[in-house]
Amino acid sequence: MIREHFEYRQTIATILADEPRQIEAAKSGILAARQEVERQIAVDPYFSATFEPYTPKSPTDIPASMARAAAEAGVGPMAAVAGAIARAGVEAMVEAGAVFGLVDNGGDIALVSDREVTIGIYAGASPLSGRFAFLIPPNEEILGICTSSATVGPSISFGIADAVTVISPDVAAADAWATAICNRITVDDTSVLDDLEGTSIRGVLAVIGDAVIRWGDLPPIVRARVDERLITAGRSPV
């Protein structure tokens, strides 16, 4: 397996693949998706500024998918940008023949895999951080595993959770809902999870201090020792 760190402007990603050409395909997909988002912002600056659902002006595929996912979650379109770009990278890998490919875009992961994959949960100062991981079974279709945190990283959050991880085949939706849930969930109030009924979201795991909140159908959780050197840290949403 090949692991490559990739940076372009504010995008900081880790790409995993079996072949160098699939790494290059992922980069091309990421850059093409970024260009779509940048063009949208250039003609419609409010698209990148609002924290509320917003219908963009004449969007292309990537901005449209972001706006749709964000509207469902009740957040602004940029809450879905990292997931949408990660998915575009993996889609390009699949088009290049990959049966295994992963793009970790600052903690928002898209993957397709013919094997089990272990994905650790980093939750900042929580005593549970780095002590467990998801064991993701093989997936022929692209899967999103997206994490938002109020205490780790540069993204804006209005909540208190150390980590909220959302799993969905819709990677943009996983990203948007991770933000929405992180904004609202507390140990004493998990009512935001009621809003997930009827959506594409399969499962949620939230870590708040030493508390763990689960919802839906999560993959097996195993003990792990997360190597913090492998964490992909982002700078900002775009």
pLDDT > 70: percent of the chain: 92
Q: Which of 48-52, 118-122, 129-133, 187-191 has the lowest mean pLDDT?
A: 129-133
Query: pLDDT tens for residues 172-224?
Result: 999 999 999 999 999 999 999 999 999 999 999 999 999 999 999 999 999 88
Section 150-165 average pLDDT: 78
Does the residue 12 lie in any domain? Answer: yes
Does the residue 236 lie in any domain? Answer: no
Does the residue 41 lie in any domain? Answer: yes
Provide the residue type at 144 as one letter.
Answer: G
More confident residue, 153 or 65: 65
Does the residue 46 lie in any domain? Answer: yes
Phi, psi of 12 (to 5 degrees): -125, 115
pLDDT level of residue 235 (50, 70, 90 thresholds): very low
d(CA 101, CA 3): 10
Long-range contacts of 140-143 (CB under 8 A, 24+ apart): 140/112, 140/114, 141/112, 141/169, 142/87, 142/90, 142/91, 142/94, 142/110, 142/111, 142/112, 142/169, 142/171, 143/110, 143/111, 143/112, 143/167, 143/168, 143/169, 143/171
Give pTM, 2 decimals.
Answer: 0.91
pLDDT at 157 over 80: no
Domain count of the chain? 1
Does the residue 235 lie in any domain? Answer: no
pLDDT at 109 over 70: yes
pLDDT at 233 over 90: no
The chain-wide mean pLDDT, for the chain, equals 92
pLDDT level of residue 124 (50, 70, 90 thresholds): confident
Question: By residue range, what is the domain housing residue 161?
Answer: 2-226
CATH no. for residue 191?
Answer: 3.10.520.10
Query: pLDDT tens for residues 48-96?
Result: 999 999 999 889 999 999 999 999 999 999 999 999 999 999 999 999 9
Does the residue 132 lie in any domain? Answer: yes
The owner of tokens 């050409």 is 21
Does the residue 238 lie in any domain? Answer: no
More confident residue, 57 or 165: 165
Does the residue 17 lie in any domain? Answer: yes
